Structure formats: structure tokens, C-alpha cells
């Protein structure tokens, strides 16, 4: 019915074993308690009869509610016996007898030996044991039915998720409806939905990347071919040939930039498989800020640093974080004019840690998807893969990334990265 590695099979076996053990232990305790109680009651009765006889009462007076014929009373003599009461059970001729020995006269070491036939009591206990055994079998069968039903109910959400995922392909990916899942499976459903979103974006961007790559490479190749055809139409001077070759080399350099960026994408996919390490994001930001501060000064610009809190530890791939922050700062400095400033700041928020790079550039067109491959904004040179790679890196880190225009009356953009605090911890501020 179930495979060896089935979760449901292991759950069934554990539930059945534990329930059966509980039933067996409880039944055994119940039976021994009933048996002990009945025997103690019989011993107490015989002991009371022995006390009455020892106090020189007649047997008939000491057994008002007991049939005297069911008792056998003897006086025995024992040496060196210092007991008050001794009781034991014997069996003879398919009958069971309970015997109590009670001191009668301590001077001559005489004792009362009272024996009672408890065959009916033993038969009653045997019936009780039989009924308990039958109840245990019935209870065990009920436990099996209950375990099968419960395991099926618990595994149903997993099977629902499995069926939905098995029917999905790159052309038909629908998010899982959270309201259909139990509360305990909501984190799993959210994780799967995030994964589906990443897959959809990946498929979308990969298609755009292939189309964009073909288009971007086709244009310089057409330029090279056209230049060569024009050059070969008639004989030219050496200087004109040199100029044509320079134009061809420039076009080839542009193609090399495109190819290099595509190779960077392959490297980034490899970086996503790297083992995350614990890193202080704040110290990392300060280190990057120092490097770019020197670069900004050489370009006649100012990099303002406002980094809070004092520390923010996170488990992540540093190379992916570096790619995002480096892209933000490079774009900000590239589009910011001379004698203007760029701000690098961070602060904790409800999601985790918010990192922002604010420039004084030309702004962006809000209707464009700048994270798609080969999307360019402004009049600066570039292939248009930087933000695409930054978005891929952010998705791999489980972070949120966005870019928007400034709303403080100054022209420019704000590039934001939000790191989740679920796998991070904030270092307390030093006093």
C-alpha cells in the first residue's frame, strides 16, 4: 500500500504501535488493579473473621453475611512465626482457595487457618480478563481505522500540492491558493508561490534575453558587413583602410561587451549555488562605500554615507550582494552630473534591512521594466544587463529590489534593496 520511504507509512506504524502499547499498558494496569482490589477485599474479610474468632466470638456470629459452609477454620501450631497476617492462594481439583493465617494464642504459638473457596471469584476475574482482551482487539482495530483516516487527512494537503505541481509546466504556472491550505502548510505554500514567481520571471527574462541577444549581436554584425562592403567597392588609400578597420574593431568591442555580460550571467547562476556564509552586511556596505567614495571624488562627485544600524548579520552569498550594490552605485555615479551627490544609506524596517542608493540623475520612465534584459534608460552607454543581473541576484537572495523616481522635488532615482530578517539578526547598538 505504501512504499518504504512513505511518510504516511511511517506515521501509520508509529501511531498504531504507540496506541496499541498505550491500550495494552492501560488494560494491564486496570486488570491488575481490579484483581488486587478483589483479593484485598477477600483477605480483609477473612482477616476480620479471624479477629472475631480470636476474640472468643462464635463462628456463626462472626459471619453474619457469609455462608459458614464456604469456610474451613483450623487451629495450627507454628514455631518461630512472628507474623500478624499471612495470606496465600492455592489450587486443587479445579478449585481455587484463599487461605489466611492469623495469630490465635501467642502463648502456645497457635494460629487460625481460615480457608475459603474463591473459585467463583477466580472465574469472575477470568471473565474480566477475557472481556478486556476482546475490548483490546476491538480497540486495536479502531486504532488502525483511526490511524488510516488521520494519516489520509494529514497527507491530503501534501498530495494536493504535489498534484498541482506535477500538472504545471513553464506555460501553465498558477500560484497555489493559500485559503485552501491548512494553517500549518501556509509557509510551504508561500515558499512554493515565491519559487513559482521566480521561475516565471526566469522563463520570461530568458526568452527576452535570447531575443535581445540576437538583436544586439545582429546590429553590430550588420554594421561590420556594411562597412566591409563599402570598403571593397573601390580601391582606397591606406588611411581609409585603417579608418575602416578602426570602425570594425570598435563594433567588435561592443559585441565583446555584450558577450562578457552574457558570461557574467552564467557566473551569477554559479554564484547562486554557492554555500551562504554569515556576513555583517553593514561592514560590507561600509567597505564598498569607501571604494566608491574615492571613485566619486575622482569624477568630481560626492558620495554621502548614512548607514544604520551598527550591524546586521545575515546568511547569504556575498558575491550576489556585491553585484547588486555595485550595480546600484555604478549606475548612480554614471547618471549623476559633476558637482552633485549620491547617497548610500541603510536602515532597519519591518521587512528587515532597507538599502538605498539615491542619485541626482535624469530619472527613469516608470512605464518601462528596467529589470528586463537589454533595457536602457538615458543617454549613457551600456548593454542593459546590469539591472537584470541585479534582479536575478536579489531573487536568489530572497530579497526585494526596486527602482523609482525621487519624490522630494529633486530629479533622480532611488534604487532599493530589502534584505529579509528571517535569516538575519540585528546586532545591538553599542552604548
CATH number at residue 286: 3.30.565.10
The reply to whether 247 and 134 lie within a common domain is: no
Q: What pLDDT is attached to residue 213?
A: 67
In a domain, residue 308? The reply is yes
Q: Which residue has the higher pLDDT, 48 or 214?
A: 48
Same domain, 207 and 309: no
Count how many domains the chain has: 3
Same-domain status, 308 and 410: yes
Q: Which of 284, 369, 278 is nearest to 322 (CA)?
A: 284
- 137 shares a domain with 249: no
Same domain, 286 and 420: yes
Read off the pLDDT of residues 254-292 as tens digits, 9 standing for 90 and up. Answer: 777 777 766 666 655 555 556 778 889 999 999 988 889
Task: Specify whether the CB–CB gap between 307 and 347 falls below 8 A.
Answer: no
* Residue, of 300 and 182, whose pLDDT is higher: 300
- Whether 357 shows a pLDDT value over 90: the answer reads yes
Angle formed at CA 156 by CA 154 and CA 160, multiple of 5 degrees: 145
The secondary structure of 64-93 as a DSSP string is SSS-GGGEEEEEEE-SS---S-EEEEEEET
Angular region, 298: left φ>0, alpha ψ -120 to 50, beta rest = alpha
Q: What pLDDT was estimated at residue 64?
A: 46
**Who has greater pLDDT, 217 or 357?**
357
Q: Give the residue among 264, 204, 292 at the shortest CA–CA distance from 390.
A: 264
Q: Kindly report whether the peptide bond that precedes residue 370 is cis, defined as omega within 30 degrees of 0.
A: no
**Of 106-110, 353-357, 403-407, minimum mean pLDDT range:** 106-110
Q: Grade residue 341 by pLDDT with cuts at 50, 70 and 90.
A: very high
Q: Where are the alpha helices (DSSP H) in 167-185?
A: none
* Overall average pLDDT of the 174-190 stretch: 73
Q: pTM score, two decimals?
A: 0.48
Q: Are 99 and 115 in contact (CB under 8 A)?
A: yes
Whether residue 340 sits in one domain with residue 290: yes
**Are residues 300 and 215 part of one domain?**
no
Q: Which CATH number covers residue 210?
A: 1.10.287.130
**What is the helix (H) or strand (E) element at residue 115, kind and residue range?**
strand 110-117
Q: What is the mean pLDDT of residues 380-401?
A: 76
The tens digit of pLDDT for each residue in 298-323 reads: 889 999 999 988 888 888 888 888 88
Mean pLDDT over 366-390 rounds to 68
333 occurs within a structural domain: yes
pLDDT at 346: 93
pLDDT at 3 over 70: no
pLDDT of residue 87: 85
The pLDDT tens digits of the residues spanning 13-66 come to: 888 888 888 888 998 999 899 989 998 898 888 888 888 887 764 444 444 444
Where in 188-328 does DSSP place strands (E)?
Answer: 277-280, 302-307, 311-316
Query: If DSSP codes are grouped into helix, strand and coil, which group holds residue 339?
Result: coil
pLDDT for 82: 57
Residue 98 shares a structural domain with residue 234: no
Mean pLDDT of the 118-128 span? 89
pLDDT over 90, % of the chain? 12
Cis amide bond preceding 32, omega within 30: no
* One domain, residues 282 and 420: yes
Longest C-alpha distance within the chain, in Å?
A: 152
Q: Does 343 score more than 90 pLDDT? A: yes
Average pLDDT for the chain: 79
Q: Is the pLDDT of residue 226 over 50?
A: yes
Return the higher-pLDDT residue of 350 and 375.
350
Q: Is residue 212 part of a domain?
A: yes
Residue 400: its H or E element: strand 400-405
Domain boundary among 229, 257, 272: 272
Check whether residue 419 and residue 282 sit in a common domain: yes
- pLDDT, greater one: 412 or 55: 412
Q: Are residues 224 and 283 in the same domain?
A: no
Q: Examine the fold and report which residue of 215, 248, 272 is the final residue of a domain before the chain moves on.
A: 272
In a domain, 155, yes or no: no
Q: Does any domain span residue 162?
A: no
Partners of residue 313 on adjacent β-strands: 280, 425
Q: What is the domain range of residue 348?
A: 277-427
CA distance 149 to 3: 18
Which of 272, 293, 324 delimits the end of a domain? 272
In a 3-state reduction of DSSP, which class is residue 278? strand
Cα separation of 315 and 424, whole Å?
A: 7
Does the pLDDT of residue 355 top 90, yes or no?
yes
- Is the predicted pLDDT of residue 379 greater than 60, yes or no? no
Q: Is residue 149 part of a domain?
A: no
> Same structural domain for residues 350 and 393?
yes
Contact 274, 319 (CB under 8 A): yes
**What confidence category does residue 431 fall into, taking pLDDT thresholds of 50, 70 and 90?**
very low
* pLDDT tens, residue by residue, 185-213: 777 777 777 777 777 766 766 676 666 66
Helices (H) and strands (E) in the chain, counts: 8, 12
Amino acid 262: pLDDT: 67
Amino acid at each position: 500500500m505504501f512504499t518504504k520511504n512513505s511518510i504516511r507509512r511511517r506515521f501509520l506504524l508509529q501511531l498504531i504501535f504507540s496506541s496499541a502499547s498505550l491500550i495494552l499498558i492501560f488494560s494491564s494496569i486496570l486488570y491488575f488493579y481490579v484483581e488486587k482490589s478483589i483479593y484485598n477485599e477477600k483477605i480483609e474479610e477473612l482477616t476480620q473473621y479471624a479477629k472475631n474468632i480470636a476474640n472468643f466470638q462464635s463462628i456463626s456470629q462472626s459471619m453474619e453475611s457469609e455462608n459458614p459452609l464456604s469456610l474451613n477454620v483450623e487451629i495450627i501450631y507454628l514455631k518461630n512465626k512472628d507474623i500478624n497476617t499471612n495470606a496465600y492462594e492455592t489450587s486443587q481439583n479445579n478449585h481455587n482457595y484463599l487461605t489466611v493465617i492469623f495469630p490465635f494464642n501467642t502463648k502456645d504459638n497457635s494460629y487460625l487457618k481460615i480457608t475459603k473457596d474463591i473459585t467463583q471469584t477466580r472465574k469472575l476475574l477470568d471473565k474480566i480478563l477475557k472481556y478486556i482482551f476482546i475490548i483490546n482487539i476491538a480497540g486495536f482495530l479502531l486504532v488502525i481505522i483511526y490511524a488510516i483516516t488521520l494519516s489520509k487527512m494529514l497527507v491530503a494537503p501534501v498530495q494536493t500540492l504535489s498534484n498541482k505541481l506535477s500538472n504545471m509546466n513553464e506555460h501553465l504556472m498558477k500560484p497555489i491558493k493559500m485559503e485552501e491550505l491548512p494553517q500549518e502548510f501556509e509557509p510551504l505554500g508561500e515558499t512554493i508561490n515565491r519559487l513559482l514567481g521566480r521561475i516565471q520571471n526566469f522563463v520570461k527574462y530568458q526568452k527576452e534575453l535570447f531575443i535581445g541577444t540576437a538583436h544586439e549581436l545582429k546590429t553590430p554584425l550588420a554594421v561590420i558587413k556594411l562597412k566591409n562592403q563599402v570598403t571593397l567597392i573601390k580601391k582606397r588609400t591606406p588611411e581609409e583602410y585603417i579608418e575602416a578597420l578602426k570602425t570594425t574593431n570598435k563594433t567588435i568591442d561592443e559585441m565583446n561587451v555584450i558577450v562578457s555580460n552574457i558570461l557574467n550571467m552564467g557566473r551569477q547562476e554559479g554564484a547562486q549555488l554557492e554555500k551562504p556564509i554569515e556576513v555583517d552586511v553593514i561592514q560590507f556596505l561600509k567597505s564598498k562605500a569607501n571604494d566608491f567614495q574615492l571613485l566619486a571624488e575622482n569624477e568630481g562627485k560626492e558620495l554621502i554615507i548614512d548607514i544604520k544600524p551598527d550591524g546586521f548579520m545575515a546568511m547569504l552569498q556575498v558575491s550576489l550582494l556585491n553585484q547588486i550594490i555595485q550595480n546600484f552605485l555604478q549606475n548612480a555615479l554614471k547618471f549623476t552630473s559633476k558637482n552633485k551627490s549620491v547617497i548610500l544609506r541603510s536602515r532597519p524596517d519591518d521587512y528587515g534591512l532597507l538599502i538605498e542608493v539615491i542619485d541626482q540623475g535624469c530619472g527613469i520612465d516608470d512605464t518601462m521594466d528596467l529589470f528586463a534584459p537589454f533595457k536602457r534608460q538615458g543617454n549613457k552607454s551600456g548593454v542593459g544587463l546590469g539591472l537584470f543581473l541585479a534582479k536575478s541576484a536579489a531573487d536568489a537572495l530572497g530579497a526585494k529590489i526596486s527602482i523609482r523616481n525621487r519624490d522630494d522635488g529633486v530629479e533622480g532615482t532611488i534604487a532599493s534593496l530589502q534584505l529579509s530578517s528571517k535569516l538575519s539578526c540585528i546586532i545591538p547598538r553599542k552604548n
